[in-house]
Structure 1
Amino acid sequence: MVSDIRLYTESEHLEQAQQFQAVLFSRGVHVELSTVEKLNARFFRLNPDLALCCDADGLWLCANGMKMQPDWKAEVGRLKRASLKSEMIARACNLGEKPSLIDATAGLGHDSLLMAHLGAHVTLVERHPILFTLLEDSHRRAQSDAFLANVVARIQLVFSDSADYLIQQAEQNHVVDVVYLDPMFPQRDQNQQAVKKQAQVKKQMQLLHMLLPEDGEMDLGDNLLELAQKIGKRVVVKRPRLAVFLADKQPNHQWQGDACRFDAYFQHDLVA
């Protein structure tokens, strides 16, 4: 896991950058703060190494001339078009019932944002200190947006390893309506070539790939399924359409789309 990173900022945003530096330090990340004259496209081209930057729009991850953040405000258009009938994820997660839901594989939080918009009360779990801080900043900024404020009020962020968090919930006999899993790098597949074609990632995901892999190993999320089934009345796994089942376990039901599918596992013996 990344434990040292540089944070670039302009002088007018230095105080905010120092706050991010302190927060990340409290989460085990050593941040070298550098004030630069201008954070522009030329600067990012000349400084291609993985880093953070802070500007008027908050905290960003940057590398190779690109920068990204979990831009929840950019999702507003998608949210306004979404409905319980139009979104396959809504049917898979039974969002019409306004469930309590744990998203144990946070990513950029876009699925959680959609599910909260459609009625779920979401606990978003992320273990990586840098990604969690990016999510936390997006959550904070979304609170000042007239449309998003009510949505993000239904999202709680938890800084924890998902496996540890699920184990803790099970030990406390907590039960939730849904546990949602979307493993970051679902590489194993019965049709490897097809998956590679589907997995042409956006710039955002390219940067996440640089940040998240540890020792070259991709997090497939197999271990999370069994843990999720101990506390979730319904466990929903998002997969590329042709991918093998998570942990090679046959689901109880599937919802199929053109590019992805949702595998559902039902636990009828769990009671709240």
Structure 2
Amino acid sequence: MVSEIRLFTEIAYLEKAQSYQSVLSLRGVEVKLVQIEKLNARFLRLNPEIALCVDENGLWLCANGMKMQPDWNAEIARLKRASIKSEMIARACNLAEKPKLIDATAGLGHDSLLMAHLGAEITLVERHPILFTLLEDSKTQAETDPFLSQIVARIHLVFSDSHAFLALQNQEQHHFDVVYLDPMFPQRDQNQQAIKKQAQVKKQMQLLHLLLPEDGEMDLGDHLLVLAQAIAKRVVVKRPRLAVFLNNQQPDHQWQGDACRFDAYFN
């Protein structure tokens, strides 16, 4: 996990950058604030190492000439097209019943945003301090958008290790309708070439792969399935279409798509 990182910003956004620096410091990340003359594409190309940057649109992750943030505003067009009937994830997670749901592998939060739009009340759990701060910033910005504000009101961010969080829910006898798992790195799966090709489609995911090392156990997900089954009526696992089952455990039902599938485990 990244414990030290540079944060680039222009003088106009220096105060905002200092605020992010303080927040990340409290979450265990040492941030070196670097004021630059112009944060543009040329600067990013000349500074390819993974870093953070701040501009008028908030906090970004950057590397290899690219910038990435969980851009929930960019999802609005998809949300407006989405319905319970049209979205496979809605059927898998039984969103017609407006479930109380945990997304234990937050990622960029796009699936949680969609599920909240379709009626779910979601607790979104993320343990990586930088990714959590990016998600928090996106949620704050979404709260100012007339369309998104009502949706993100149903999303609750929790800065925690998912394993510890699920174990605590079980210990305190808290129960949920659905736990949703989307492990980022199914590197031990079969059909490696097909899976790797799918994983590199989006530039956003390439940057996340730099931030979250592939050997990080937090991204494998096997250990989460049993914990999730202890507290939820239904556990839904998103997998690449050709991947092996999570924890080598046969699901009770599947929904198959062209690129991915949803494996469901019922209690």
Q: 1:14: how far off?
A: 0.8
Kindly indicate whether residue 44 of structure 2 is the aligned counterpart of residue 48 of structure 1: no
Report the equivalent of 1:139. Answer: 139
Q: CA deviation at 1:214?
A: 6.3
User: What's the secondary structure of 1:183's corresponding residue?
Assistant: coil
Looking at structure 1, the residues matched to 216 and 128 of structure 2 have their Cα atoms a distance apart, in angstroms, of 16
Corresponding residue SS for 2:239: strand
| Aligned equivalents of 1:206, 1:196: Cα separation in 2 | 11
* Structure 1 residue 202: Cα displacement: 1.1
1:63 corresponds to: 63
Return the alpha-carbon distance in structure 1 between the equivalents of residues 166 and 218 of structure 2.
20
State the AA in 1 paired with 2:128: H
- Given the alignment of the two structures, is residue 101 of structure 1 paired with residue 128 of structure 2, yes or no? no
Q: How many residue pairs are counted as aligned between the two chains?
A: 267
For 1:84-99, what aligned pairs fall within 5 Å after superposition?
Answer: 84-99=84-99
Task: Describe the superposition over 1:146-204 as per-residue Cα deviations: whole angstroms up to 9, x where unpaired.
Answer: 10000000000000000000000000000000000000111233322332333333111
Matches of 2:134 and 2:216 in 1, distance apart?
A: 23
TM-score (normalizing by structure 2): 0.98
Contact 2:49–2:63 (CA under 8 A) maintained in structure 1: yes
The TM-score normalised by the length of structure 1 is 0.96
Q: 1:19 — aligned with what?
A: 19
Residues 35-61 of structure 1 show CA distances to partners (whole Å, capped at 9, x for unaligned) of 111100011011111100001000000
Structure 1 residues 122-137: aligned runs within 5 Å = 122-137=122-137
* Worse-superposed segment, 186-195 or 44-53: 186-195
Residue 227 of structure 2 aligns to a residue whose secondary structure is helix
Partner of 1:113: 113
Give the equivalent residue in structure 2 for 1:253. Answer: 253
SS in structure 1 at match of 2:219: coil
Cross-structure match for 1:229: 229
Q: CA deviation at 1:216?
A: 6.6
Distance 1:127 1:188, change over 3 A: same
- Taking only aligned residues, the RMSD between alpha carbons, in angstroms, comes to 1.2
Give unmatched runs, 5+ long, in structure 2. none
Deviations 1:212-249 (A, max 9, x none): 11667682110000000010110000001110000000
Q: Equivalents in 2 of 1:196, 1:12: separation in Å?
A: 40
Specify the code of the residue in structure 1 equivalent to 2:78: R
Q: 1:218–1:176: structure 2 CA closer, same or farther, 3 Å change rule?
A: closer
Please tell me the residue identity of whatever aligns with 2:242.
L
User: Could you tell me the percent identity over the aligned residues?
Assistant: 77
| Native 8 Å contact 1:185 1:218 kept in 2 | no
Whole-angstrom distance in 2 between the partners of 1:148 and 1:222: 33
Q: Residues of 1 paired with 2:37 and 2:159: CA distance?
A: 33
Query: What does the per-residue CA deviation read over 1:103-162, in whole Å, with 9 as the maximum and x for residues that have no partner?
Result: 000000000000000000000000000000000000000000010000000000000000
**Helix, strand or coil: the match of 1:31?**
strand
Q: Give runs of aligned pairs for residues 159-238 of structure 1, distance below 5 A.
A: 159-213=159-213, 219-238=219-238
**Distance in 2 between the 1:135 and 1:259 partners?**
25
Distance in 2 between residues matched to 1:31 and 1:206, nearest whole Å: 22
Counterpart amino acid of residue 175 in structure 1: H
Would the aligned equivalents of 2:185 and 2:214 in 1 still touch at CA under 8 Å? no
